[in-house]
Structure 1
């Protein structure tokens, strides 16, 4: 399908380099373009040259674009980039990396999106599906490029499970999941999508190509998602952490996780038997249960996975206890809504560490929650001044502006006493200091473990 095609991959990140490797293996001539020069694996450079491709840094784009068949965008590349606009102007197809994955995938596709909870839900679904005889691959906005994962599948019964971001959905064409879920929608990435309305429409693209034999899973407690459900051609299942549903997944009055359709009612056990906690994780579990059940996973296998699943790294992850103080790494909280969910997951007040690269998101609700749920707020990164202004506006007590990430951790450790919780939940992306939220979380864990040595 891609043999002898001239394909320009815009963006030399994980997804870009991943899809470049895949396309080369498919026989395409690959051109990699990025505004900034970076070091590429020697094996990839050799393969590009052997396939008569080219690597372009910053200049010479238009000459190449005139002679390509398709432009493939990495998730970090916005639609309003001059290079993207030029490619569209001269009639070149511009598609997302996940579009390539969907073309290569020989089997079924499960896609999960939402402002928060994507990684946990996708990982949990992948674990549940392992009990099936089918071959399972998990990728997308988590781990490897989705196209690389799709390439590992060979049979129509295989299943590709994908975490999908709004950035990836911007440039889809025929991308069509057999099962998809939107977990929630709250304001995020408005620096890129500009308006909440645009962000919602982009998220909704995940089901725009579905038919009446496909499935769409939505959060009933999100009014925006109920409205989107009315526009879908798919079979819809809702989930709710707050009410009993006639059809769908919910928590009943006794605290049990229930799935109910028109033919049966299944009890997956009490919510307190889970090893992950917080209302948001209950919602993630309910969505995963629906996906696994309609995918054919046996009830007992779903239960076993629920009882053994300990969550994902960097999402309210217990790090260690130092002098009776528990430290939690929630580096994946890159927006205020995610930090709110983390704060609400604890029954006691916490010492909160927040800040990083400021996405200019609204902080009102987060600071209201912080006032009630924090003993002390430590702020760091380029967002710290705006965060401090908003914290003062909502009368948050005990605010410290730290000179660095390290100082925030060290100061928090000095004021914390036995029984306290120190929570890193930044409500910001990491790009002012770190490569990504994973690197930030790993460094936090390293700093905490260094406290043990003191």
Structure 2
């Protein structure tokens, strides 16, 4: 793909949008960065990241922006249902996602991971494992570092490990992963994709361009994901936490084991893993499958599993105050992810939940809340619906808090050993915060302030 002297309209001034605009400009393209909000609404940090050569069009997003453009590039926060997408397609202007640009820039093969839950942990685990190969490796995508920037200058014998969201897959064309992994699929982002069927189709695009020499790693325990094997051209390697597999990655006599092409290779006893929770065992199985296909030695995979303590904002220990442990699980932006966090504890939980409601089903989540949560503290736009559903499931001790800091203060007043305080919102953060990271960092700051008193 030739970027020189081409004109690109980049929609969305988030991390990925700014990165794409900067990269395209640096490669000799004419890039225009546009966002529906005004330039003054951007954070100072974001404004400082925009290169001098990038043209700016903020506030207005009418069809005239497409005049003279060769390509329309979408930041992940911009849906393919945006009016300018229809207008661009009507004019014959190709519409690309930021990861499509990254794919065309990368000389190195790409390992891509998607799924509803567990993407960040699994991507980070795989990144640590493949680094042991001694190849120059970048880890990015939906994990906080824009892929288009990170792949620049990476040699052909390097590796790209990328967390990929359904948003990023909406506008791919040629994007091809040498190894693609789908971890699980539960209803999420229905407000964006409109129905679960479209959400699934977007996820499956991660292996849409694979060839017979590529690999697709799939969760055997998730029937929807298991059935994706019929729709990929790649060689399928299953992983399973619940079943023995003659071909695949599973647990044999308490040991993570890879069975592949006539060989059985023991990796690591699950008792040696540093991560907690059944969901993290699934993440580890997927990571081992990908790493094995990438050529990582079993001993190196085992060492990473023993040392890896997890990622920020995912059941992250924060502090212990007066015998009560506090955990930050801000990354739990849907009920299914919050369920996995609740399952990591035997009970006596004081749970802080709520935020921007995705209107997903709450039955499984509230059933587990009724069994394991001593006090439920609800915040944000979702508080009313969550409280109503909690009542239907006989959840005891339901509280609401007007502010996030008030919720943390209330949890502190209620908590006593052997209870734990867990922030696991089961919601997006956008009603109160810019992102889940900001929410998690404030939680940690508030907890540390409590511990200092």
TM-score (norm 1): 0.96
Q: Is the 8 A contact 2:319 2:448 kept in 1?
A: yes
- The answer as to 2:270 corresponding to 1:267 is no
Which whole-Å CA distance do the structure 2 matches of 1:78 and 1:64 have between them? 17
Which whole-Å CA distance do the structure 2 matches of 1:42 and 1:4 have between them? 25
- The answer as to 2:203 corresponding to 1:203 is yes
- The answer as to 2:409 corresponding to 1:410 is yes
SS at structure 2 position matched to 1:301? helix
Which whole-Å CA distance do the structure 1 matches of 2:145 and 2:176 have between them? 20
- The answer as to 2:94 corresponding to 1:88 is no
Cα offset, 1:453, TM superposition: 2.1
Cα offset, 1:45, TM superposition: 5.0
Alignment-derived partner of residue 75 in structure 2: 74
Alignment-derived partner of residue 51 in structure 1: none
Alignment-derived partner of residue 157 in structure 2: 157
Aligned pairs for 1:97-246 (under 5 A) are 97-153=98-154, 155-246=155-246
Cα offset, 1:180, TM superposition: 0.6
1:147-172 superposed Cα distances (whole Å, 9 cap, x missing partner): 0111141x221111100000000000
Which whole-Å CA distance do the structure 1 matches of 2:32 and 2:409 have between them? 46
Cα offset, 1:24, TM superposition: 1.1
Which whole-Å CA distance do the structure 2 matches of 1:349 and 1:417 have between them? 10
Moved more, 126-135 or 199-208: 126-135
Cα offset, 1:176, TM superposition: 0.5
Q: Is the 8 A contact 1:241 1:282 kept in 2?
A: yes
Q: Is the 8 A contact 1:107 1:158 kept in 2?
A: yes
SS at structure 1 position matched to 2:162? strand
Moved more, 300-309 or 37-46: 37-46
Aligned pairs for 1:296-445 (under 5 A) are 296-445=295-444
Which whole-Å CA distance do the structure 1 matches of 2:52 and 2:195 have between them? 43
Aligned residues: 447
Q: Is the 8 A contact 1:355 1:384 kept in 2?
A: yes
Cα offset, 1:401, TM superposition: 1.1
Cα offset, 1:64, TM superposition: 3.0
Q: Is the 8 A contact 2:353 2:378 kept in 1?
A: yes
Q: Is the 8 A contact 2:184 2:219 kept in 1?
A: yes
SS at structure 1 position matched to 2:282? helix
TM-score (norm 2): 0.97
Consecutive unaligned residues in structure 2, runs of 5 or more: none
Cα offset, 1:43, TM superposition: 6.9
Distance 1:123 1:372, change over 3 A: same
Cα offset, 1:189, TM superposition: 0.3
1:78-132 superposed Cα distances (whole Å, 9 cap, x missing partner): 1111111111111110010000000001011000000000000000111111111
Q: Is the 8 A contact 1:180 1:215 kept in 2?
A: yes
Q: Is the 8 A contact 1:18 1:144 kept in 2?
A: no
Cα offset, 1:411, TM superposition: 1.0
SS at structure 2 position matched to 1:328? strand
Cα offset, 1:60, TM superposition: 6.1
Which whole-Å CA distance do the structure 2 matches of 1:279 and 1:418 have between them? 24
Cα RMSD (Å) of the superposition?
1.2
1:188-208 superposed Cα distances (whole Å, 9 cap, x missing partner): 000011111111111000001
Q: Is the 8 A contact 1:33 1:61 kept in 2?
A: no
Distance 1:73 1:262, change over 3 A: same
Consecutive unaligned residues in structure 1, runs of 5 or more: 49-53
Which whole-Å CA distance do the structure 2 matches of 1:60 and 1:263 have between them? 57
Q: Is the 8 A contact 1:6 1:69 kept in 2?
A: yes
